[in-house]
Amino acid sequence: MSQVPANGRPLLEVDDLRTYFPVRRGVFLRTVGHVKAVDGVSFSIQPGRTLGLVGESGCGKSTVGRTLLRLIPATSGSVRYKGEDFFSYRGEELRKLRRQMQIVFQDPVSSLNPRMTVGNIIGEPMQVHGLASGSGRDEMVAGLLERVGLDPAYVTRYPHEFSGGQRQRIGIARALALNPNFIVCDEAVSALDVSIQSQILNLLGDLQKERGIAYLFIAHNLAVVEHISDDVAVMYLGRIVEQASARDLYSNPKHPYTMALLSAVPELNPRPRRRRIVLPGEVPSAVNPPGGCPFHPRCHLTRQAASDADATETAEITVGGTKLRVLRRCAEEMPVLEQKQAEPGHCAACWVTK
Amino acid sequence: MTSSTATSVMTGAKAPAARPRSLMAIVLRDTVSQLGARLAVAWIGLLILGAVFGPFIANSFPLIARVDGRWESPMWRYLVPTDVVLLVVFIATIILCGVRQMTVPVKVGIVIWLLALVIPLALWAVLARDLSWYRHEYGTGLVVISLGVAFGLDLAVLVLVPLKLPLSSRQWTILGLFAAALTGILVLHPVKPPTTIIYDQYRELGRAGRMQFSLPAPVPYSPTDRLRDQPDAQLLAPDTRHWMGTEINGADVFSRMIHASRVALAIGFIATGIAIVAGCAVGGVMGYFSGRVDMLGMRLLEIFEAIPTLFLLISCVAFFGRSLYLVMVIIGLTSWSGYARFVRAEFLRLRNQDFVLAAIAAGLPLRSVLFRHMLPNGLVPVLVSASFGVASAILSESVLSFLGLGLIDEPSWGDLLNQATGQGGTFTWWLAVFPGLAIFLTVFSYNLIGEALRDALDPKLRDGASD
Ligand SMILES: Nc1ncnc2c1ncn2[C@@H]1O[C@H](COP(=O)(O)OP(=O)(O)OP(=O)(O)O)[C@@H](O)[C@H]1O
Ligand SMILES: [Mg+2]
């Protein structure tokens, strides 16, 4: 959506990021396993551009956003910001650098401190980083509130006096206060109704044009992401399963999971009609992901392929009591993210599609 | 977008009418809106008034007297530093609580008033040092004069100064506190009551006909006035002179009851204050850093929880002698573990709250994350249990006094209660009923306030306000 060219040095490079949460049991809280919330995620974002990150609830999208901002510790992997290793910063240096990377949270209720006025919520970071103080600060806060479509007179109010949509705008104003280069928008609009959703999306788009901010835009369905993203990554069980430019991903999906997600997008604009693909079974647990391709128990492509294939190349699995026949390779080998027969840069992790 | 901007402007237009309310303000309002809590707050307020204005209400020395043709105020002259400090703190608190509601000229007036109080008192202090006779002769007069000058200046300021100082309410608070502290220190210096106190002095003067005028306090007996000039004053039953009778040594029980509220409040607030500070520090560190620190902290808590408070109190008092401060410190240091547990649990919960993550992501320093963002949100259960803690601290002190291990000469409810059963099994009902009732009402009040606070804070009972 933005006009910034996609060449040159990326603003942010995430390489093989992993975040595991220990699962503790028993009297001594022994670690009995790990929730692999993020399991080897890599992507990069150019300045002034937007990467959409899409996936079902619980697939680890928020964890990606939080880990790359170092709000929760990463298990392994690296994040480079402007070419520098972000994970190597410590103490004061890290605090200063945080100014340039902000986050807008998913839940407008818990993301604002209930004990602080809006003026302080937005103003304190500015003051701490020496961007403004005194009456200059008040003016800047008022200006920001106006920019996100709120009345500047709200500065003396407390968060509980606002609606969800208003709070979300306050959260956006807080992220903008530090004039960042990069914002993680963690389902910034999911909690809002549709008319307000589009207002906020427009606002984010305008701000991007004005200030050249890069976004990691997290959402759980493709409809929202389509309008705002330059590139889209689809996540499943802590991994990226498909990554492409937004246009190519929507017109030519290469992963069965993306196809399923796309078929669930309500059709507003004329587009070739798709049959709705209903995914059978539950989202598998991130503690014990299925072997092989993590998606194979729910995959319609592998079932189709298996019905045409040789019996030696297939295997029988049980999903929720019913027996299914899938490709042996899908059930046994983890597919890698590889270039498909599409635009350059369009990758997917699937054994079936070409 | 435009439509929403329009609506926000519309609601914004109405906004100034209703003051923005913090969650805390709403909770406090809800707490006090319950009848029981209201009565409890009224009783505690009464105790506070008794503690602050005790010397004005019950005093053997007349408030104003004219002796041998000269006016003086014996009550003022015999005030001890504690009396004056309490008075200054009380007035400063009232002013600070009101500061948000005040217009700018009023604020300016108050600060100038406080400074005006300080300057004559400072002058007085300097003079009193060089010319000791001066203070002795005119001491009371000077207090009255300086208060008068201060009031006068204040009035002049209110009428004349339409000054507008652009200070935030926080800066006002700091300024006010500073001025109050300065006043307190300067007032303390010249407050030197005569070292020998003869309670019957003014009664004798009256009997000798040398006192032309006297305005006695409503209860004309000091708490430690043993009525040496009156034979057989011990253990008098309540009558019109001694509304609650007298105790074993002949002191007026009502006077002692009023002055004892000071001990009761002090022990409750200071002991609980110590416990809260210690609990927040340890619990906060445990909750924020979690992991190994948390484990060590838990063991420390368990050790402290195993100490029997009353037994420790009794042995310490037996060993180090009777001291109110010792009692406060021991009660404080043995009861912080509960607060630490609450704060720890709250911090563990808050650590992953989005607004705390947002504070960290904004690059705020750890100090701000801990004390501005986490602590105020984790203090709620602490407040509830603090009101129960105050009640139990008061009970502990009463028990100690009842066991005969309390303060020596200071009035205390438990001590009075202790005297109710005398040697040989005699029972004096007025020494049991009045202090017993006071202890009961106070403990009951704190418990009622605790309950009301808990109800007001319970999100299930509140709709909308807390979301
Ligand atoms: N602090 C934590 N401790 C343990 N497990 C966690 C923690 N945070 C997240 N998880 C687990 O990690 C997985 C991914 O969580 P995450 O919040 O990233 O999902 P999400 O994709 O953002 O979902 P949603 O769309 O619902 O927000 C989930 O299985 C969750 O249970
Ligand atoms: Mg999420």
Name, in order, each residue with C-beta under 8 angstroms of A235's C-beta and a sequence gap of 6 or more: A41, A53, A54, A55, A59, A60, A61, A64, A241
Q: Please check the confidence at residue A115 and state whether its pLDDT lies above 90.
A: no
Mean per-residue pLDDT for B426-443?
Answer: 90
Give the residue carrying structure tokens 């809590």.
B37
Give yes or no for a contact between B35 and B451, defined as CB atoms under 8 angstroms apart.
Answer: no
Cα of A235 vs centre of ligand 1, distance in Å, is: 13
Q: Which residue has the higher pLDDT, A1 or B284?
A: B284
> Which of ligand 1's atoms lies nearest the C-alpha of A55?
21
Burial B385-400 (b: 16+ CB within 10 A, else e): bbbbbbbbbbbbbbbb
At B122, the pLDDT band (50, 70, 90 cuts) reads: low
Highest mean pLDDT among A41-50, A305-314, B196-205: A41-50
| Ligand approaching nearest to the C-alpha of A285 | 1
Smallest CA separation from ligand 1 atom 3, residue: A21
**The token pair that represents A19 in the structure block:** 């975040």
Distance B289 CA to ligand 2 centre (A): 24
Task: Tell me what pLDDT residue A5 has.
Answer: 47
Per-residue pLDDT at B95 exceeds 70: no
Structure tokens belonging to residue A246: 């937004």
Residue minimizing CA distance to atom 30 of ligand 1: A58
- Crossing angle for the helix pair B81-98 and B35-57, nearest 10 degrees? 140
CB contact under 8 A, A71 and B357: yes
CB-CB neighbors (< 8 A) of A171 in chain B: 358
Domain end: B200, B215, B230, which one? B215
User: CATH number, domain at B453?
Assistant: 1.10.3720.10
Residue B223 counted as domain residue: no
- pLDDT value at position B231? 79
DSSP string, B232-257: T-TTPPP-SSSTT-B-TTS-BHHHHH
Q: Is the pLDDT of residue B150 over 80?
A: no
Provide Rg for chain A, Cα atoms.
22
Q: How confident is the model at residue B405 (pLDDT cuts 50, 70, 90)?
A: confident
B265 close to B439: Cβ distance less than 8 angstroms: no
Model confidence at B4, in pLDDT bands (50, 70, 90)?
Answer: very low
**Under a CB-based contact definition with an 8 Å cutoff, are residues B165 and B109 in contact?**
no
CA B63/CA B98 separation, integer angstroms: 29
Which residues 25-54 of A are in CB contact (within 8 Å) with B?
none
Q: What's the pLDDT tens digit per position in A162-203?
A: 888 889 889 999 999 999 999 999 988 877 777 778 888 888
Structural domain includes residue B243: no
**Distance (Å, whole) CA B234 – CA B220:** 17
Strand ranges, E, within chain A: 12-25, 30-45, 50-54, 76-81, 84-85, 101-104, 182-186, 214-219, 231-236, 239-245, 314-319, 322-327, 338-339, 347-348
Pocket of ligand 1 (CB under 6 A): A 21, 35, 37, 55, 57-63, 106, 220, 286
Question: Is A209's pLDDT higher than 70?
Answer: yes
pLDDT at B152: 55
Say what the pLDDT of residue B451 is. Answer: 86
CB B158 within 8 A of CB B85: no
In a shared domain, residues B211 and B269? no
Q: What b/e sequence results for A146-158 when a residue is b if at least 16 CB atoms lie within 10 Å of its CB, and e otherwise?
A: ebbbbbbbbbebb
- Determine contact, residues B259/B58, Cβ cutoff 8 Å: yes
| pLDDT at position B64 over 90 | no
Question: Residue B156's pLDDT is what?
Answer: 52
Compare B146 and A110 and report the one with higher pLDDT: A110
A345's tokens: 């840069």
Of B185, B215, B245, which closes a domain? B215
CA dist A263 to A197, A249, A281, B367, B445, Å? 21, 13, 17, 49, 64
Which residue carries 């029997």 as its tokens? B308
Picking from A74, A2, A20, A4, the residue whose alpha carbon sits closest to that of residue A289 is A20
Q: What is the pLDDT averaged over residues A59-67?
A: 93
Minimum mean pLDDT range among A33-42, A83-92, B202-211, B225-234: B225-234
Percent of chain A with pLDDT over 70: 92
Rounded Cα gap, residues B334 and B271, in angstroms: 10
> Chain A closest CA to B16's CA: distance in Å?
8
Show the tokens assigned to A329: 């390779």
| Confidence at residue B170, expressed as pLDDT on a 0 to 100 scale | 62
Please give the residue that has the higher pLDDT: either B136 or B416: B416
**Is residue A105 within 8 Å of residue A111, measured between CB atoms?**
yes
Q: Where are the alpha helices (DSSP H) in B15-77?
A: 23-32, 35-57, 74-77
CA distance A297 to A303: 9
Q: Is residue B73 part of a domain?
A: yes
For residue A296, the one-letter residue type is H
B91 contact partners, CB below 8 Å, separation of at least 6: B180
Q: Is A306 on the interface with B (CB under 8 A)?
A: no
The beta-carbon neighbor of B361 closest among A103, A109, A158 is A103
Q: Whose CA is closest to B398, among B443, B337, B363? A: B443
Residues B452, B387 share a domain: yes
Ligand 1 atom closest to Cα of A63?
18
Q: What is the mean pLDDT of residues B40-63?
A: 92
Name the more confident of A31 and B18.
A31
Q: Is B6 on the interface with A (CB under 8 A)?
A: no
Q: Are B388 and B447 in contact (CB under 8 A)?
A: yes
Rounded Cα gap, residues B7 and A151, in angstroms: 9
> For residue B165, what pLDDT band results from cuts at 50, 70 and 90?
low
Highest mean pLDDT among A37-46, A127-136, B148-157, B400-409: A37-46
Q: Supply the mean pLDDT for chain B.
A: 77
Is B232 domain-assigned? no
What value, to the nearest 5°, has the Cα angle with vertex B34 and ends B29 and B40? 95
Measured CA to CA, the distance from residue A21 to residue A19 in angstroms comes to: 7
- Which residues 192-231 in chain A show a CB within 8 A of chain B? 196, 199, 202-203
Contact B86, B266 (CB under 8 A): no
How far does residue A201's CA lie from ligand 2's centre (Å)?
18
pLDDT at B463 (0 to 100)? 44
% chain B with pLDDT above 90: 18
Q: Quick check: A189 and A169 in contact, CB under 8 A?
A: no
- Residue B151 placed within a domain: yes
Looking at per-residue pLDDT, the higher value among B293 and B3 belongs to B293
Tell me what pLDDT residue A63 has.
94
Check whether B437 has a pLDDT greater than 90.
yes
Reported confidence tier of residue B149, pLDDT bands at 50, 70, 90? low
Same domain, B331 and B379: yes
Give the residue, by CA position, lying nearest to ligand 1 atom 14.
Answer: A60
Helix (H) or strand (E) holding B313: helix B309-320
Distance between CA B334 and CA B310 in Å, rounded? 10
The reported pTM is 0.75
- Asked if residues A230 and A51 have their Cβ atoms less than 8 Å apart, the reply is yes
Q: Which ligand lies nearest to the CA atom of residue A284 in the structure?
A: 1
The mean of the pLDDT values for chain A is 85
Mean pLDDT across B188-200? 72
Contact state of B354 with A107 under an 8 Å Cβ cutoff: yes
Consecutive H or E run containing A86:
none
Phi, psi for A230 (deg, rounded to 5): -85, -45
Look at A34-48, A307-321, B76-90, B116-130 and tell me which has the smallest mean pLDDT: B116-130
Residues B207 and B259 occupy one common structural domain:
no
Pocket test for ligand 1, best of A17, A19, A21 (most atoms within 8 A of CB): A21
Chain A, 132-191: which have a CB under 8 Å from a chain B CB? 149-151, 153-154, 156-158, 160-161, 165-166, 171, 174, 178
Instruction: Identify whether B45 is part of a domain.
Output: no
Q: Which amino acid is at A301?
A: L
Q: What pLDDT does residue B459 have?
A: 55
Q: What is the mean pLDDT of residues A204-228?
A: 88
Encode pLDDT of B334-374 as tens digits: 889 989 999 999 999 898 889 999 999 999 998 889 888 89
Q: Where are the beta strands (DSSP E) in A26-181?
A: 30-45, 50-54, 76-81, 84-85, 101-104
**CA B176 to ligand 2 center in whole angstroms:** 47
Question: A71 and B11: CB-CB below 8 Å?
Answer: no
Contact yes or no for B4 and A149 at CB 8 A: yes
pLDDT of A54 reads 92
Range of the domain at B333: 253-459
State whether A125 and B364 contact (CB < 8 Å).
yes
At B21 the pLDDT is 63
Last residue of a domain, one of B169, B196, B215: B215
Residue B200 has a pLDDT of: 87
Q: Do both B202 and B263 map to the same domain? A: no
Question: Does A86 or B66 have the greater pLDDT score?
Answer: A86
User: B206 and B265 in one domain?
Assistant: no
Q: Which residue has the higher pLDDT, B277 or B177?
A: B277
Give the residue among B57, B53, B43 at the shortest CA–CA distance from B82.
B53
Strand A214-219 relative to strand A50-54, pairing:
parallel
Measured over the CA atoms of residue A138, residue A143, residue A144 and residue A145, the dihedral's sign is positive
Tell me what pLDDT residue B233 has: 80
Nearest to B298 by CA among B312, B311, B285: B285
More confident residue, A73 or B174: A73
B467 part of contact set with chain A, CB < 8 Å: yes
Q: Considering only residues B176 and A213, tell me which one the structure prediction assigns the higher pLDDT.
A: A213
Q: Regarding beta strands A231-236 and A239-245, do their DSSP bridges make them parallel or antiparallel, or are they unpaired?
A: antiparallel
Ligand 1 atom at shortest distance from the alpha carbon of A286: 29
Question: Parallel, antiparallel, or unpaired for β A182-186 and A101-104?
Answer: parallel
Q: Which residues of B touch A199 (CB under 8 A)?
A: 1, 4
Domain count, chain B: 2
Ligand 1 center–CA A258 separation, angstroms = 20
pLDDT for B237-266, tens place per residue? 888 888 898 988 889 999 999 999 998 888
pLDDT greater than 60 at residue B392: yes
- Looking at chain A from residue 103 to 122, which residues have their Cβ under 8 Å from any Cβ of chain B? 103, 105-107, 109-117
Query: In chain B, how long is the greatest CA-to-CA distance?
Result: 89
In the block, tokens 């509980």 appear at: A160
Average pLDDT over residues A22-30: 75
Q: How far is A239 from chain B (nearest CA, A)?
A: 23
Pair (B164, B269) in one structural domain: no
| In contact, A278 and A285? CB cutoff 8 Å | no
Same domain, B320 and B405: yes
| Mutational pocket test of ligand 1: of A23, A32, A53, A59, the residue with most ligand atoms within 8 Å of the beta carbon | A59
Q: Do B358 and A199 touch (CB under 8 A)?
A: no
Q: Do B447 and B298 belong to one domain?
A: yes
Distance CA B260, CA B277 (A): 26
Is B269 in the same domain as B180? no
Q: For residue A171, what pLDDT is reported?
A: 92
In what side-by-side order are the strands of the sheet with A12-25? A30-45, A12-25, A76-81, A84-85
Question: What mean pLDDT do residues B277-303 have?
Answer: 89
- Give Cα separations from A332 to A238, A327, B212, B300 (angstroms): 19, 9, 111, 52
Asked whether residue B32 is assigned to any structural domain, the reply reads no
Q: Which of A223-237, B13-27, B380-394 has the lowest mean pLDDT?
A: B13-27
Q: Both B155 and B61 in a single domain?
A: yes
Return the H-helix or E-strand segment holding A299: none
Same domain, B199 and B283: no
Of the candidates B225, B245, B221, the residue with the CA atom closest to the CA atom of residue B235: B245
Which two tokens mark B16? 């100034």
Residue A61: partners with Cβ closer than 8 Å, 6 or more residues away: A53, A54, A55, A186, A187, A218, A220, A235
pLDDT at res. B143: 57
Q: Is the pLDDT of residue A213 over 80?
A: yes
Q: Decide if B31 is inside a domain.
A: no
- Diameter of chain A measured on Cα atoms: 76
Q: Whose CA is nearest to atom 10 of ligand 1?
A: A37
Residue B76: per-residue pLDDT: 76
